[in-house]
Amino acid sequence: MDSLIIRPIKPHDNQALAHLIRHVLTEFNANKPGTAFFDKTLDSLSNVFTVEGSGYWVAEENDVFIGGAGIYPTEGLPEGYCELVKLYLHAGARRKGIGKKLLDTCFSSARIAGYTHIYLETMPELNAAIPVYEKAGFIYLKQPLGNSGHYYCTIRMVKKL
């Protein structure tokens, strides 16, 4: 992992990121309506993350795109909350600590932006990520927060920063 670089998203990342997200959701049979698979902005995410209070970081290893994660001030969230969004890794990049590094980048950036909490939504099909979130300090919520539009995501968690 000596050659791992985590950097802000750039427009030339859009195609690779959209492909990765669709591929991972298909891999886990989670390519369903109400998920990121059908987000209208999926092919132009570098534009989405120009919104104040947002950020997206991509992970590269040996100059190869391997994943990413971001934070976003999702509409309807309580004051001081942002959402952890679109954390996805290529299969070969999983279980190597790269997801944790992306999470730490998101946590640090959220604190700098003045957020007090970070919220996430996921689904049972992506169950491999849930222990990572639990270990990072996320706790379960019974109800969704905000208006992400991801109604298929029935697992909701929050972390105090």
Tens digits of per-residue pLDDT, 11-51?
Answer: 999 999 999 999 998 898 888 887 788 788 888 999 999 99
Q: What percent of the chain has pLDDT over 90?
A: 70
Q: So where are the chain's domains? A: 4-160
Of 39, 29, 33, nearest to 152 by C-alpha is 33
CA distances from 11 to 17, 38, 44, 51, 143 (A): 10, 20, 8, 15, 34
**Mean pLDDT in residue range 132-136:** 94
Question: Which residues sit opposite 8 in a β-bridge?
Answer: 57
Looking at residue 2, its pLDDT comes to 66
CATH code assigned to 4-160: 3.40.630.30
* 53: confidence class by pLDDT, cuts 50, 70, 90: very high
In this prediction, residue 146 has a pLDDT band, given cuts at 50, 70 and 90, of confident
Residue 70: Cβ-neighbour burial (10 angstroms; 0-12, 13-18, 19+): buried
Question: pLDDT confidence of 56, banded at 50, 70, 90?
Answer: very high
Contact call for residues 74 and 83 (beta carbons, < 8 A): yes
